Structure 1
Amino acid sequence: MGGPRPRTLLAALAIRAGDIVPLDRLTDELYGTAPPSDAANALQGQVSRLRRALGDASLIEFRPAGYLLALPASQVDAHRFASLAAEGRQALERGDAQAAESLLSEALRLWRGPALADVALPDHATRLEQERSAASTSLVAARVRLGKAGVREVRDLVARHPLDERLRGYLMQVLHQQGRQAEALQAFEDARALLADQLGADPSPELRAVHLRVLRGQTHREPPAQLTSFVGREEELRRIASLSSRLVTLTGPGGAGKTRLALQAAGPGAIFVDLAPAKDVAAATLQALGLKETALEPEDRLTLALRDRDSLLVLDNCEHLVVQAARLAGHLLGTCPSLRILATSREALGITGETLCPVPPLDPEQSVALFTDRARLVNPAFARDRHTAAICRELDGLPLAIELAAARTRTLTTEEISQRLNDRFRLLTKGNRAAAPRHQTLRAVVEWSWDLLSPDERDLAACLATFSGGATLDAVEEVCRHDVEVLDALVDKSLVEAADGRYRMLETIREFCSEHRRVDAEHAAYFHDLARRADPELRRRDQVRWFARLSAEHANLLQAVEWATAHEPERALRLVSDLSWYWYVKGSRTEVQGLARALLDRVPEQSTEEYAVLLALAAPERVQEKLLELRGPIRQPFVLVAWAMLTGPPDPSAPRTALQDEVEGSEDPWIQGLIGFSNAYLAWATSGDRPRAVSESRAALRRFQDLGERWGSAQVLDVLANLTEDPVEALALTDEALRVVGELGAKEELAELRGRRADRLLDLDPGQAERDYLQALELAAEAGLSATRALAHAGLARIAHRGGDPARAEALLREARRELGFGWMHAAAQQQVDEVLSELAGTPGA
């Protein structure tokens, strides 16, 4: 551009492209506080140099009031950026995170370095950098809503803007979305410390709300991100938004777009429950909330988790579980006054208070718009023609059918598509006229897609339909015995969706394909092998990854158990045993109880470890007698945990059993660690030999830590915290236990340990103890742990009593007593409640 001043002049004009820039403003920006004596001539000279450099003098126009750059603002990157960023922010405010992400990404791609580099316009550069930062933050917000944000991306922004609480909140959400709850909680603590140090302030209510959602696990199952734009349905969206009913059910045929409409209406923050692969509505809803199962009924646990929350629960694909869905919806709406439910189903739930919102076919204009949009995804040059409307009309405006047809524009013309559809529909409607029209139409579309497949593609599609909840590439190759190229072809032809390393079919397509061939025996064998390989890894260093892998295959594992129960009960018995530890830690015992009971009817009684595991799941009242028959060796730790859960701490005076001798002689390092710290603690409780108990517990801890096993490490750390006489050390040990169970996402242990942390803070920091008790209450409500809630209420009562508020203390103790039930754990909690009662009774005037 001929030097720094012509560059600065061009930048000053470009920033205001299309507008006249006054002469004195240009002089100030070129020369600052030391302009030449003849500033007007000097400015004119710089304009001449710039015109020569540009090669087109007409681009710089002189007007009586100043100069202007004769270009539309859209041809200047700074203006284009500002326009796209503004559109992106507006899309984000409308709730369209997909559009916001696209617009903001395009805006930020216009940047090639620092703002106005090598140009002396510092005020404009600062403003542009601030706009860039704001756009980057908005982009992160959009990606967080879509579940696409990366930890490094957000951490980089936090490093540049450490006091920005919005970015701190986004970092916590992204970490939690990736299952890194402990890191998310630490990110909050880091923010709290920095704000206190730098500003002398506490975290904002918004950041505290994110912290609470992470503690509650509420970000675990939000509505899934959508990869295509939403087309049409304006009238249905307005109707849903206008309804005051707390239960709205979207009804319509398969392929009508009920799920997509529900996701659009729900927006971010809703709790999404996909019932398509589920067998139990309450259990699936617990999983969506990230809750473990306990002895409490699932419906009551859900009430505990939801009764104080203003939430929207989306129950998707209810039709195959409509009675269960209706029962759960009625229960939750009756017990959770702020809860709203949006359901999708091919039929109404049929309960009082339900409002139906039929999802009709798209109208002709929307149908053509949808076809055109989806066709351009596979064929960017696609242009609608006279056949486009005919295709949509032939497909009755059903979105799924339209999308499948549009995918074929990659290889077929619209005329060829129209001809094929006409043949298929005519043939099918001449068949069973009694069939529902929606079944005729949808079957015709799927069948037509099926006819276009090669023999290998058909075979793989039928095989893949056996999987419930999708499959990994390894599972597809092992069970279906086809190359990845065939799988890719099914993805290209829109019969299979590929996302996050898994391959899934739409349920309608899966149902059709499963009619042609099933590979249930191979499927059960594969997932039995996976469970067998995974079980020991769940107690080793790589346990977090293996828990995640089994969680991703949860529906397939249940399907394998169900099929094996009916066809290979002995395999089912071994498979249930191999899965028992996974089910225990993740809290799925109630969900699998029905399957376990069905298997119990299919296998003969036997004195085996596998049968004892089955009894613990199906008929726990019978398991204690069976445990006395076991001789070992014990391979499955769930046997030991079930033993402890059902019988409580062993009586030292009771006769020893063969199982006790076998367990204590086990060479399994995990079992050695478990028995080591258990015996050490019991010995201390009976003999008071604290040094020996500490020594043996630390030996047990080393065993677990050598294995990299977090659950066992947390148990021993908690025991050591009980044994130490140093309150500061007890607190540090508890914090370490909380950290390791946080990595596993074990909500029961998190609730219990948070309560014990409060116990240990009671004499050190009553204020923090109170906050911990309140957190324990929230976590215990989520996990359905009434005994833990009773203990937390008792702790809060003790704080209130010591603070001179006996009335509140008594009210809290009444709450504690209401939480108590039956069993040895509740009896232990009752003892602590009684201790607080005695403390109150011994106070004058209490």
Structure 2
Amino acid sequence: MRFGFLGPVQAHQDDGTPVDLGGPKVRTLLALLAAEAGRIVPAEALLDGLYADTPPEGAANALQSQVSRLRRVLGPGLVEFHPTGYRLAVDPSTVDAHRFAALAADGRAALDRGEHLAAEENLTAALALWRGEPPAELGPSRWPELHLTAIEDHARAALALGRPGLVPALREHLGAHPLRERLWALLIRAQLADGRPAEALSAFEQARTRLAEELGADPSAELAEAHRLALRGDDRRVTPLPAQLTSFIGRADELTRVRALLREHRLVTLTGPGGAGKTRLAIEAAADTPACFLALAPLTEGADLPRALLAALGAREGARDPLDRLRAALADRPPLLVLDNCEHLIQPVAELTADLLRANPALRVLATSREGLGITGEARHPVPSLEPLAAAALFTDRARAADPGHDPAAHPDLVEGICQALDGLPLAIELAAARVRTLPVAQIAARLDDRFGLLARGERTAAARHRSLRGVVEWSWDLLDGPERVLAGRLTVFAGGATLPALTEVCAVPTCSAR
């Protein structure tokens, strides 16, 4: 059975059937017991809640009568008698208020850890349980303050995640709590995030005036900081993570691992060949925290890096040296920097990243690259090919999206063969799955001997290196120097694995640079 007193007192069977609780006294008694679910409530406290200052003659008998009525509607065993009072013998998690408190606490803890998506989910679930104020008979309680704090924490998480449209709800809450400084600070930040700095400054003046007139107090540090941001027009509009149009398949364990690495290390680099899914994994891993995304593939010169990062952070260059401006821009509430496709600018990216990490102890960086940045403290996570089951699931999902009338699951052996032939490489699998618009699965499998010709037409809006399998290989090939290309060519004689002596005999190139 489940119970609720955040709003009208209610009880439901496990299947959702409502329980008819009867009159107001029985409902009040249930609320008093549910507020202390699992613990003994003294008889005196129950009498005070039921009758206040006007207990009837024979108050103990009156209380026992109400307990008997409650037992009849709830069934046996739930309301226990003890020498000092009564106990609702249920787990606190069956009561909406206790579930609310637990979810709100989890949300705040996630917020403090910087896990904003998890915080938002917990706080959304908590606020959904709130149907209104608890019964007045409970007297002054912690629940209204917990509710207001959860509202503020939820707004803080939503702001960190770049959620729009927070201003109307915050204004509504301020109408009921006009002296709540944290609400004012959140309103100012929300107005800045919506690109309304003039309204943010006006809101601060309203808050300052009201606090001075009604409390004789100056703005708190949090409100003053929001004012400072409004004065400089800083809405922190960093370049967000790219929105994804497809489902994320097959890397749940890796996602957990990368998020754990981000909690433990300030620099995490996802490494692997082109098309392995490094970018997508990085985007998913960064989704629960404020992040700034910078795609490096369009850049051709390392000198462009500081200005490109300033633009991604939404910071103005000004007259100062771009690197100094970058350090200043990251000094206040630095986001997680996601640097995507670092391999063609590996040296300048490594130098800039090391400089910024040294300058700001709170900064964290998640990079994707064909090779690691080679910085002290870097945690590398190689992104492998997909396991067979995950690869088949990816092909099936993308093929159904390409042609909803097509069911590749009807040909599991063919799908498995295609994925195996493509080495479980996510981009190659997606390119193959897109061909179901024009070719049956059997034909796709049969034509993989000419995979560069078969997988030559990907998404038109994708970067050139992701539109075809040839583009993926060419991007990697162009990054190699002369000796490395010789080594890569010699490796092609091995159809499968090879021993170290065989590799040394066939592939040894004394002048090849080590990477």
How far is the alpha carbon of 1:221 from its aligned partner?
Answer: 0.6
| 1:6 alignment counterpart | 26
Residue 81 in structure 1 maps to residue 37 in structure 2: no
| 2:430 alignment counterpart | 446
Among candidates 416, 423, 439, match of residue 417 of structure 2 = 423
Measure, in 1, the Cα distance between the counterparts of 2:263 and 2:34. 45
Measure, in 1, the Cα distance between the counterparts of 2:398 and 2:252. 15
| 1:93 alignment counterpart | 112
- After superposition, give the CA deviation of every residue in 1:192-216 in whole Å (9 maximum; x if it has no partner): 3333333333333333333444526
Matched residue type, 1:143: A
Measure, in 2, the Cα distance between the counterparts of 1:17 and 1:313. 42
Among candidates 325, 341, 345, match of residue 368 of structure 2 = 345
- After superposition, give the CA deviation of every residue in 1:35-81 in whole Å (9 maximum; x if it has no partner): 223111111222233344x2635443333332233443333222222
| 2:148 alignment counterpart | 133
Say if 1:359 and 1:412 are closer, same or farther in 2 by CA, change over 3 A: farther
| 2:121 alignment counterpart | 102
Say if 1:309 and 1:444 are closer, same or farther in 2 by CA, change over 3 A: closer
Residue 15 in structure 1 maps to residue 39 in structure 2: no
CA RMSD of aligned residues (A): 4.4
| Contact 1:303–1:332 (Cα < 8 Å) also in 2 | no
Residue 42 in structure 1 maps to residue 57 in structure 2: no
Say if 1:404 and 1:191 are closer, same or farther in 2 by CA, change over 3 A: farther
Residue 360 in structure 1 maps to residue 382 in structure 2: yes
- The count of residues paired between Structure 1 and Structure 2 equals 420
Measure, in 2, the Cα distance between the counterparts of 1:50 and 1:341. 56
SS of equivalent to 2:38: coil
Measure, in 2, the Cα distance between the counterparts of 1:204 and 1:111. 29
Among candidates 27, 32, 50, match of residue 30 of structure 1 = 50
| 2:314 alignment counterpart | 290
- After superposition, give the CA deviation of every residue in 1:779-807 in whole Å (9 maximum; x if it has no partner): xxxxxxxxxxxxxxxxxxxxxxxxxxxxx
Measure, in 1, the Cα distance between the counterparts of 2:243 and 2:431. 26
How far is the alpha carbon of 1:180 from its aligned partner?
Answer: 2.1
Matched residue type, 2:70: L
- After superposition, give the CA deviation of every residue in 1:130-164 in whole Å (9 maximum; x if it has no partner): 22222222221221121125211222223322333
The range that moved more, 161-170 or 6-15, is 161-170
Say if 1:74 and 1:289 are closer, same or farther in 2 by CA, change over 3 A: closer
Among candidates 253, 260, 271, match of residue 251 of structure 1 = 271
The correspondence of residues 681-760 of structure 1 with structure 2, limited to 5 A, is: none
- Which of these two proteins has the greater Rg computed from alpha carbons? 1
| 1:203 alignment counterpart | 219
Say if 1:143 and 1:292 are closer, same or farther in 2 by CA, change over 3 A: closer
Measure, in 2, the Cα distance between the counterparts of 1:103 and 1:414. 37
Measure, in 1, the Cα distance between the counterparts of 2:242 and 2:177. 28
Measure, in 1, the Cα distance between the counterparts of 2:242 and 2:206. 29
SS of equivalent to 1:452: helix
| 1:780 alignment counterpart | none
Say if 1:26 and 1:241 are closer, same or farther in 2 by CA, change over 3 A: closer
Say if 1:426 and 1:268 are closer, same or farther in 2 by CA, change over 3 A: closer
How far is the alpha carbon of 1:277 from its aligned partner?
Answer: 5.9
| 1:219 alignment counterpart | 236
SS of equivalent to 1:168: helix
SS of equivalent to 1:162: coil
Give the percent of matched residue pairs that are identical in Structure 1 and Structure 2: 33
| Contact 2:239–2:313 (Cα < 8 Å) also in 1 | no
The correspondence of residues 618-657 of structure 1 with structure 2, limited to 5 A, is: none
| 2:467 alignment counterpart | 511
Measure, in 2, the Cα distance between the counterparts of 1:348 and 1:212. 41
- After superposition, give the CA deviation of every residue in 1:63-113 in whole Å (9 maximum; x if it has no partner): 333223344333322222223222322332332222222222222222333
Measure, in 2, the Cα distance between the counterparts of 1:106 and 1:33. 38
| 1:63 alignment counterpart | 82
SS of equivalent to 1:221: coil
- After superposition, give the CA deviation of every residue in 1:575-621 in whole Å (9 maximum; x if it has no partner): xxxxxxxxxxxxxxxxxxxxxxxxxxxxxxxxxxxxxxxxxxxxxxx
How far is the alpha carbon of 1:173 from its aligned partner?
Answer: 2.1
Measure, in 2, the Cα distance between the counterparts of 1:326 and 1:194. 55
SS of equivalent to 1:359: strand
Say if 1:309 and 1:201 are closer, same or farther in 2 by CA, change over 3 A: farther
| 2:339 alignment counterpart | 316
| 1:232 alignment counterpart | 253
| 1:168 alignment counterpart | 184
| Contact 1:251–1:356 (Cα < 8 Å) also in 2 | no
Measure, in 2, the Cα distance between the counterparts of 1:161 and 1:4. 30
Measure, in 1, the Cα distance between the counterparts of 2:262 and 2:106. 26
Measure, in 2, the Cα distance between the counterparts of 1:290 and 1:238. 28
Measure, in 1, the Cα distance between the counterparts of 2:196 and 2:222. 20
Among candidates 311, 321, 330, match of residue 351 of structure 2 = 330
Unpaired segments of 5 or more residues in structure 2?
Answer: 1-20, 440-455, 472-515
| Contact 2:399–2:434 (Cα < 8 Å) also in 1 | no
Unpaired segments of 5 or more residues in structure 1?
Answer: 368-388, 429-436, 456-461, 468-504, 516-846
Matched residue type, 1:391: L
Measure, in 2, the Cα distance between the counterparts of 1:213 and 1:84. 31
How far is the alpha carbon of 1:391 from its aligned partner?
Answer: 0.8
What TM-score do you get using the length of structure 2 for normalisation?
0.67
Measure, in 2, the Cα distance between the counterparts of 1:286 and 1:342. 15
| 1:148 alignment counterpart | 163
SS of equivalent to 1:17: coil
Measure, in 2, the Cα distance between the counterparts of 1:55 and 1:240. 49
| 2:138 alignment counterpart | 121
SS of equivalent to 1:232: helix
Measure, in 2, the Cα distance between the counterparts of 1:403 and 1:201. 59
- After superposition, give the CA deviation of every residue in 1:759-793 in whole Å (9 maximum; x if it has no partner): xxxxxxxxxxxxxxxxxxxxxxxxxxxxxxxxxxx
Residue 183 in structure 1 maps to residue 219 in structure 2: no
Measure, in 1, the Cα distance between the counterparts of 2:357 and 2:97. 51
- After superposition, give the CA deviation of every residue in 1:381-409 in whole Å (9 maximum; x if it has no partner): xxxxxxxx7413x57xxx9889859989x
Say if 1:332 and 1:262 are closer, same or farther in 2 by CA, change over 3 A: same
SS of equivalent to 1:203: coil
- After superposition, give the CA deviation of every residue in 1:804-844 in whole Å (9 maximum; x if it has no partner): xxxxxxxxxxxxxxxxxxxxxxxxxxxxxxxxxxxxxxxxx
Measure, in 1, the Cα distance between the counterparts of 2:265 and 2:93. 42
Residue 158 in structure 1 maps to residue 174 in structure 2: yes
SS of equivalent to 1:314: strand
| Contact 1:251–1:359 (Cα < 8 Å) also in 2 | yes
Measure, in 2, the Cα distance between the counterparts of 1:219 and 1:106. 28
- After superposition, give the CA deviation of every residue in 1:404-425 in whole Å (9 maximum; x if it has no partner): 59989x9999965753432213
SS of equivalent to 2:178: coil
What TM-score do you get using the length of structure 1 for normalisation?
0.43
- In proportion to residue count, which structure has more helix? 1
| Contact 1:176–1:220 (Cα < 8 Å) also in 2 | no
- After superposition, give the CA deviation of every residue in 1:281-329 in whole Å (9 maximum; x if it has no partner): 44432322324567x59xx234235248534672522347x33x74366
